[in-house]
Amino acid sequence: MGSLKHEFIRGTALRIAMPWGLAEVRPAVLAVRAFLAEHGLNEEELGACELALAEACNNAVQHTPPSRRSRPIRLEAVLAPLAVELRVTDHGPGFDWPSRVELPEPERECGRGLFLIQALMDTATYLRGPDSNCLLMQRARAEAVVTEGSPVRTAVELERLLAADERIIRDMTDELSSCYESLAAIFRFGREQASQSGIKEFCRRLLEDLLRVTQSRWHILRLLDGGTGELSVFTASDPSLYLKPLQLGDLAMAGRSLELESVQSRRDVWFDQPGMLPPDDPLAVVGGESVGLVHPVYFGDALIGTLVVGGSAATLRLTAAQVNVIHTFSDFLAIQIMNTRYQEERVGALLVARELEIARHIQRSLLLRSLPEVGGVQLSGYCESSGQVGGDFFDALKISDTSMLLLISDVMGSGIPAAMFAVILRGLVRASVAWAAQPAELLGRVNRLLFAELSDVEMFITAQLVHVDLARNRLTVANAGHCPLLVAGEEGRAPRAISPEGMPLGVLPEPEFGEEVLPLESGLRLFLYTDGLTEVSSPDGSEFGTQRLADWLAGCARSRMSVNAMKENLLEELNRFRFDEPLRDDQTFLILSR
């Protein structure tokens, strides 16, 4: 007994530091038993507590390895009016408390300790920690505190005890009401969250509630922009508190801002006495008499922002319970903010995917199911999207039995807008076939109709029109900023690049479009394309280029290759050239032969 250290706490608790050793258990347990007997526990209760405590201490001793035996095992007995609580804290590695404690086989000599603890006590909770483990055991008392045998107390002592009890009850009530408030608020907000229009409004209202619960006057919630490292005010209780953003890495500011300090230390920073706010802290606008707390808001390991809650020194009581409420609210806020961000990202990704799908659908609708047949002219076309939907397309319209209009176009941009303009352009051109024989005039007309819309969204369209007139054996070409078309004859000369003057549609309100007229000779090969075709690159980085295209076309014309064979042949050429390089742009072309 001589080695035991006793410490009485408030007269209703006993704490004993027990040195390691099985022989130490019995005296320590007897000391606890004596303490409990003094406070009126009956024989049955004493026996139960004595044995449960002995078993707990034996376990603690047996599970402490030699390296940790210098630290004492702590025994505590706390007497509440309705229950007795026993705690044994050791510094060993602990053990796994079984999910079900059962009696071992009758013949086994050990393994009954935990069973006895559970049988003798009402609750047994084993808290295993990195540095210490605590076995917490409770047993309800048979009867309320017995006065028999307790020492006579003076009126002053009684008053003091009553005051202490009242203080405990008040603290407990506070804690309870705070917990209730935060739970109620969280449930209320949790329910409303589904119908919340914005996270900002949600945060503002939640924090208003927090101010009410904690009797604080003001708050500032800053959120971190992960991209810029800026902590900007998201919500504040007063317009004057929308302070300038703080920069995470701002060293000049680091020593002056309690908010940055809380982020760096990952701890609460208090200014709980008037005058503790540094005068050059941005927070100082709240006035030197203000007191409060800066809490860094984390979601797991991810910094979300900072929350400052403050008020006047006279009314703000930052008790442990209040601080708990602030932490609970802040954890809840962090979850909601992360949740909203995640939802936004998900919805954003869905919208992009949906937009691409719509755009692809539109682009597919532009593809001609069959090409018109006029006289002895053969047509073949190809339009392949590179994935990011662009605005490439071609059209071929039969005007009469001896004429048709070819259109190839590239709307600059991608997604739905590009696809929409492609549809509009095709519609306008189709509606303007009366001007088919004067393609320059037609382009001017379409430009007038589209200019306002295109320049509003800063888009433009390149296009090329070819009027094919079999009656007069000629081609009339007009161009709006599009790459030149190529013409090759079967005589084998180098193909000509035809590119009449003309700005893309949507650039100028009244541009001039030139026209060029070509003879439509037998054996001629006409090649219209968009520049995605010549920009196809090989693994070594070189482009397919117009020269290679011209050489290929000359070869096809010389050998009188059919347009369909030319299409297949060109695609093969391009794929061979590209090898395993991905397609970066759409590939669109239209071939005519006579």
Partner 1 sequence: MNIRLAIQGDTLSIGGIRELNAANANAFRDQIRSAMSDTLKNIEIDLSQAIFLDSCGLGALISLHKTACSRRGLVRLVNPAMPVQQILELTRMHRIFEIVKAA
Tell me which residues touch partner 1 (CB under 8 A): 22-23, 25-26, 43, 47, 50-51, 54-55, 58, 61, 103, 106-113, 115-116, 119-120
By beta-carbon proximity to partner 1, the closer residue of 55 and 469 is: 55
User: Is residue 427 a contact partner of residue 438, using CB atoms and an 8 Å limit?
Assistant: no
3-state DSSP helix/strand/coil % of the chain, to nearest 5? 40, 25, 35
Q: Which is nearer to partner 1, 4 or 358 (CB)?
A: 4
Per the document, the length of the chain is 594
Q: Is the dihedral of CA 252, 256, 258, 259 positive or negative?
A: negative
Q: How far is the CB of 129 from partner 1 (least distance, A)?
A: 24
Q: Any idea which residue has 């000629």 for tokens?
A: 474
Minimal distance, residue 62 CB to partner 1, in Å: 8
Q: Determine phi and psi for 218, rounding to 5 degrees.
A: -145, 160
Q: Which of 27, 278 has the CB closer to partner 1?
A: 27
As a whole number of angstroms, the distance between CA 171 and CA 160 comes to 16
Shortest distance (Å) from residue 26 CB to partner 1? 6
Q: Which of 237, 536, 166 is nearest to 382 (CA)?
A: 536
Q: Which is nearer to partner 1, 119 or 368 (CB)?
A: 119
Q: Which is nearer to partner 1, 33 or 295 (CB)?
A: 33
Q: What is the C-alpha separation between 282 and 244, in angstroms, rounded?
A: 8
Which CB atom, from 108 or from 369, has the smaller least distance to partner 1?
108
Pick between residue 46 and residue 313 the one whose CB is nearest to partner 1. Answer: 46
Nearer to partner 1, 116 or 437 (CB): 116
Nearer to partner 1, 51 or 480 (CB): 51
C-beta of 55 vs 410, nearer to partner 1? 55
What tokens does 2 get? 């001589």
The backbone torsions φ and ψ at residue 127, rounded to the nearest 5 degrees and listed phi first, read: -105, 110
What's the one-letter identity of residue 354?
Answer: R
Q: Give the 3-state secondary structure of residue 329.
A: helix
**Cα three-residue angle 115-116-122, rounded to 5 degrees:** 95
Tokens encoding 213: 């619960």
Minimum CB separation of residue 55 from partner 1 in Å reads 6
Cβ 57 to partner 1 shortest distance, Å: 8
* 25 vs 73, beta carbon nearer partner 1: 25
Shortest Cβ 142–partner 1 spacing (Å): 15
From edge to edge, which strands make up the β-sheet containing 133-140?
5-9, 13-18, 73-79, 83-90, 133-140, 123-128
Minimum distance from residue 1 beta carbon to partner 1 (Å): 14
Minimum CB–partner distance for residue 126 and partner 1 (Å)? 17
Contact 390, 412 (CB under 8 A): no
Nearer to partner 1, 106 or 198 (CB): 106
Select 113 or 511, whichever has its Cβ closest to partner 1: 113
CB of 112 to partner 1, least distance (A): 4
CB 32 to partner 1: min, Å: 13
H helices of 367-481, where? 415-431, 439-456
Instruction: Kindly provide the residue ranges of all beta strands, DSSP E only, lying in 369-514, ordered along the sequence.
Output: 378-384, 391-400, 403-411, 461-469, 474-480, 485-488, 496-498
Distance of closest approach, residue 181 Cβ to partner 1, in angstroms? 45
Q: Which residues contact 435 (CB under 8 A, 6 or more apart)?
A: 441, 442, 445
Which two tokens mark 255? 């020593």
Shortest Cβ distance from residue 51 to partner 1 (Å)? 6
Biggest CA pair distance of the chain? 131
Closest among 103, 16, 104, 102 to 60, alpha carbons compared: 16
Please state, in angstroms and rounded to a whole number, the distance separating the CA atoms of residues 139 and 79: 10
The amino acid sitting at 479 is N
Query: By the 8 A CB rule, do 433 and 399 touch?
Result: yes
Minimum distance from residue 274 beta carbon to partner 1 (Å): 58
Minimum CB separation of residue 92 from partner 1 in Å reads 16
* 97/332 with CB nearer partner 1: 97
Nearest to 19 by CA among 2, 3, 35: 3
For the sheet with 246-247, list strands across it. Answer: 246-247, 230-236, 218-225, 302-312, 290-299, 269-271
3-class DSSP state for residue 85? strand
Residue 110's Cβ-side half-sphere holds a number of Cα atoms within 13 Å equal to 4
The alpha-helical segments, DSSP class H, found in 215-318 are 251-254, 258-265
